[in-house]
Amino acid sequence: MLYIIAYDITAPRRLRRIATICEDYGVRVQKSLFECNLSKERFSRLWKELLNTYNENEDSIVAYPLCKACQDDMETAGSNIERLDFDEPLIF
């Protein structure tokens, strides 16, 4: 399933750690926004890592699951937007 992960982290050091965790699981599409194509088990691991890193009194993290039908209806615009085909292997 595709998950959209967004966050607002107040401390620069925690922000870098959160971003690094998200980079291990998905693709950055904006500064604090990632697309992650994950199984439920892998999403659970990601979520646990994020919750172990953020400060619940200062930070916020949200994950939006998108079903296949919702993914097909996504709209994008702009010169730096690249739609990824999550049915194909991602090679970096």
pLDDT tens for each residue of 34-52: 999 999 999 999 999 999 9
In 3D space, the residue among 31, 58, 67, 63 whose CA is nearest the CA of residue 47 turns out to be 63
Give residue for tokens 């892998």.
42
How many domains does the chain fold into?
A: 1
Residue 91 lies in a domain: no
Residue 36 included in any domain:
yes
CA 68 to CA 75: how far, in whole Å?
14
What letter does residue 54 receive in the DSSP assignment? S
CB atoms within 10 A of CB 38: 20
Look at residue 9 and tell me if it is in a domain: yes
Position 79 in a domain: no
State the residue range of the domain holding 55.
Answer: 2-68
Q: Is residue 8 part of a domain?
A: yes
pLDDT in tens, 11-23: 999 999 999 999 9
Residue 80 belongs to a domain: no
What's 9's domain CATH number?
Answer: 3.30.70.240
Residue with tokens 């916020």: 60
> What is the model's pTM?
0.80
Is 21 inside any structural domain?
A: yes
Task: State the helix-helix crossing angle for 40-53 and 12-25, rounded to 10 degrees.
Answer: 170
